[in-house]
Structure 1
């Protein structure tokens, strides 16, 4: 049975004259009893439940077997033992007292009646518990039917004295500061798969299972609503900024729905989650990923509207395209300052979901749909080059990427990283690889001037010349050749981008 009583409730007022306490040391009769079982073979090695009251009707005089049985009951945190009188020695009674295992005796002639009485008590307790659980489940279901969100449901449960925490990557906070001895159960279906439901002690397993079911339905419904909103915005994004055709009637209609005036000036800012693939690989529940995206695009949009008076976010995968509308072109410095405020506002959300960061690229302000698309392309270039130069968590304007924008598209491609690693592999395999790479990079930056490079490295010219000869030998190239220097600079830039991202 799944119910729990205590020895006092279970044994008194029924067969008191038949049940005698054998152990003399004072016993805590309030100790819990979760079940009563007959034991016929003097072994409970394969039974691991706690708080069981064992009835041993066998007549057996072996002290060794009685002592072994007591030790097994104690190790399983048993409630006690009922045996026929005259079965155990004084030494075994002393052992039971030391282990705090109460032993009761019942005459063999009365054993059947006592067992029937005890089971009747447990059955009554179980029926009462089931009735209470059923009433509580009805109350919980009524609250669930009125709840619009999972958080609303949790708050309403607290009014019943049921305190619940939903543990999905730390995004939801519990109403209690901490749970002690909490019960935990995972959702195993739908978009909430992997989310853990934790409750404070005091509710039964069946009630927790019901709460898990209802919370899972709410999480699945919320995830579906978020996914629908994200898909709707993403489709508009593709038509607005990617579709090469002239704006169609459907695009103009969609723009009106989003309150976007295609004839005004627009500044595009592209936000991209850092290491999003690694985040997904951690087994994060789908509902948590959707909540993250929803909270981010809402926060970006909210902050942009506070700062610039307008903001529309169109999410796509792990990117968020912010479009800021204005009657005239926005000043680039003002936009950058505004984006730094937005970035700060996003930090608590990123921290709550354990996301390493978010990087942004900013384009210039342009008029019309074609101008908006140009600003989008500039923001994308600024994002890629800025992340290459500054690493994760940076915000870069197109005006600041300089000549490196000519490498856009190549520097961030898997092909560039593969070629660079293959080309520089002989250096990377050297014990002093970092020293050689630093030497080569500074030599390239100093345009091949030995004195300047040696001063930056704080080494003698001859030491620098030795290192360069070593690099030429390993790579089978002439480091002073102009074409070779161009290739080396590109390879180092692609390699540095990868290293910066890993360090960050």
Structure 2
């Protein structure tokens, strides 16, 4: 009886496909047949189609939680306050995961029947998702080829860029800013690409909720966001961009923890042919956010100081400069490291004796003695402006190179 019923469901779903029905028609038909609510989600647990009138609506993210105690094949779905117990089956083809099918509120006595039905229906849903994935991939291939050329400076004609951008609804006549979101410790040969896809979906969801048409590109460990800058003050736009980034990071922490997302923001450029500069700056800012932990997870390239120059400079030349300035002091201070620490704090506190002494819990006279010793060892005058600049750069090189070596 169950075999006949499952074949009947499969035939009904195949007829829907033959008649030109899409995912919505398949979901409605399956739900009517099994007399249960049905949800289809992508690999990020974002609803593609659903028969729920409230909750689990199209485009919404939801959590998939194990039941307590665990029940094979059953999970709990949660979107805000809305919860539902569900049977779940993965929708995949050729080892490529396409999404998930959920039959909600299956009841206590119908597991076997519904499992037979859901597995029979699975093949039809896989066909439809595979078709949608192929169409999306073909569209993205054209889109990504254009974005690759745009973000790597391969197109110089602004009119051509603006015209091609209109094909995807992008107004590239407006100034844009590029933001790079990077998954830290990304591994190519792992499931990390699913995490990057989830990050892409989160950014897309946040942008859609703000009614924004943005440029989005998923690329290895990063998702690139290019946001149009309308006529507003720089400070206002930064607050607006921070709001978007913080919404993304809050959702990423909820969905991707314990993995870390780092964010770099390039500068604004008026012409689309210069957008590649903003992208390169965003990538440098991301890398520096990982190296300079005190900067936090969001780094604006325009707010970086000498670090952005040092980052792209020859490492050997930087090392030679650093050793030329600080090597003698490090050699003298090898055991206690107190002179190096004193000098760095003195520079951090803008050469303010009182602030430095307070920070180091030193008497001002003790601090003066140490600074005198430092001047003697380095044969430098700490009151000289150029000397202070050189010392600040030397310390920045030290932290930058040591951070790179740890990564």
TM-score range, shorter chain: 0.5 to 0.7
In structure 1, which of residues 144, 148, 155 is the aligned counterpart of residue 22 of structure 2? 148
Deviations 1:175-234 (A, max 9, x none): 999697352655564464396666546254543432343343344334334433433332
- Higher-Rg member (1/2): 1
SS at match of 1:254: helix
Q: Note if 1:266 corresponds to 2:175.
A: yes
Q: Note if 1:300 corresponds to 2:207.
A: yes
Q: Note if 1:240 corresponds to 2:143.
A: no
Cα offset, 1:148, TM superposition: 3.4
In structure 2, which of residues 231, 242, 253 is the aligned counterpart of residue 340 of structure 1? 242
SS at match of 1:181: coil
Aligned to 2:35: 161
Q: Note if 1:223 corresponds to 2:122.
A: no
Give the whole-Å Cα distance in 2 for the aligned partners of 1:219 and 1:437: 61
Aligned to 1:35: none
Cα RMSD after superposing both structures: 5.4
Give the whole-Å Cα distance in 1 for the aligned partners of 2:152 and 2:287: 18
Cα offset, 1:332, TM superposition: 0.7
Cα offset, 1:360, TM superposition: 4.0
Aligned to 1:458: 361
Q: Is the 8 A contact 2:289 2:297 kept in 1?
A: no
Q: Is the 8 A contact 1:187 1:212 kept in 2?
A: yes
TM-score by length of 2: 0.60
Unpaired runs of 5+ residues, structure 2, are 47-60, 75-88, 372-376, 382-386
How many residue pairs get aligned? The number is 347
Deviations 1:376-435 (A, max 9, x none): 55555555556646555425362x324443234359x9x999xx9xx99x99xx9999x9
Q: Is the 8 A contact 2:199 2:223 kept in 1?
A: no
Alignment of 1:59-458 (within 5 A): 128-142=1-15, 148-149=22-23, 153-154=26-27, 156-159=29-32, 160-162=34-36, 168=43, 170-171=45-46, 173=62, 181-183=71-73, 186=90, 189-190=93-94, 192-193=96-97, 200=106, 202-204=110-112, 205-244=115-154, 246-247=156-157, 251=161, 253-259=163-169, 264-275=173-184, 277=186, 283=191, 286=194, 289-290=196-197, 292-297=199-204, 299-300=206-207, 303=210, 305=212, 311-317=213-219, 318-324=222-228, 326=230, 330-347=232-249, 349-350=251-252, 351-354=254-257, 356-357=260-261, 359-366=263-270, 368-370=271-273, 372-385=275-288, 388=292, 390-391=294-295, 393-394=297-298, 396=300, 398=302, 400-409=303-312, 441-442=344-345, 445=348, 453-458=356-361
Aligned to 2:397: 490
Unpaired runs of 5+ residues, structure 1, are 1-127, 306-310, 469-476
* Structure with greater contact order relative to length (CA < 8 Å, sep ≥ 6): 2
Cα offset, 1:313, TM superposition: 0.8
Deviations 1:15-72 (A, max 9, x none): xxxxxxxxxxxxxxxxxxxxxxxxxxxxxxxxxxxxxxxxxxxxxxxxxxxxxxxxxx
Deviations 1:78-126 (A, max 9, x none): xxxxxxxxxxxxxxxxxxxxxxxxxxxxxxxxxxxxxxxxxxxxxxxxx
Change (3 A) 1:219 1:129: closer
